[in-house]
Chain A
Amino acid sequence: EAGVTQFPSHSVIEKGQTVTLRCDPISGHDNLYWYRRVMGKEIKFLLHFVKESKQDESGMPNNRFLAERTGGTYSTLKVQPAELEDSGVYFCASSLSETAASGYTFGSGTRLTVV
């Protein structure tokens, strides 16, 4: 079984540019989550999809971030325009069950560097 796939693995962009991160969950996993770790800080929840619907986007930092999951398969996270403080590692995870009790499978992350 393929795991959670994220790409690009690393992106370096200039402040003010747009970047789109992609996550392909495990096939059949309706639940998809985005987390991020800003340098040296904790890993924070961004949002949760159930199929194509946003179940909870309370962790999205501001309206420069837009997440989509058209068709309930892969998801994209767009940052527009990117700011320096957006630098960090963005993780995607998927799970079968909606409750956290089943555990997540994480992707390898996208390291975003805004210069």
Chain B
Amino acid sequence: SQQGEEDPQALSIQEGENATMNCSYKTSINNLQWYRQNSGRGLVHLILIRSNEREKHSGRLRVTLDTSKKSSSLLITASRAADTASYFCATDATSGTYKYIFGTGTRLKVLA
């Protein structure tokens, strides 16, 4: 399986509801990032959480990190139709490598 695996693979919710996506990874990390990709468009950086942080907020986004379980979650509160996109987590390894490892992403659909 992949480093940085997201689940669920697909999520469909009503506008105004909260959406939670999870990410699991395998190796020790320096940081974990969440990105969004709207259909056919580029990657947009959402939030970065460092390995010594447990929770981070940015607007309607809340990210948690549990390094003991090697997992992270992304919560989008009060979702909007414009939040419809694929969401990816990306991790780097503490070996100092310069690569980010992405998962296959969670496809979120917010219904108006």
User: Cβ of B98 and Cβ of A99 under 8 Å apart?
Assistant: yes
Chain B count of residues within 8 A CB distance of the other chain = 28
Which one, B11-19, B29-37, B64-72, B74-82, is touching chain A?
Answer: B29-37
Chain A count of residues within 8 A CB distance of the other chain = 31
A-B contact count (CB 8 A): 71
Q: Which residues of chain B in 16-63 are interfacial with respect to chain A, using CB atoms and an 8 Å cutoff?
A: 30-31, 33, 35, 37, 40-45, 48
Complex A-B: 30 CB contacts under 8 Å: A6-B42, A35-B102, A37-B37, A41-B104, A42-B4, A42-B88, A42-B105, A43-B43, A43-B102, A43-B105, A45-B99, A45-B100, A56-B99, A59-B99, A91-B42, A99-B96, A100-B92, A100-B97, A101-B31, A101-B92, A103-B31, A103-B33, A103-B48, A104-B45, A104-B100, A106-B43, A107-B42, A109-B41, A109-B42, A111-B40
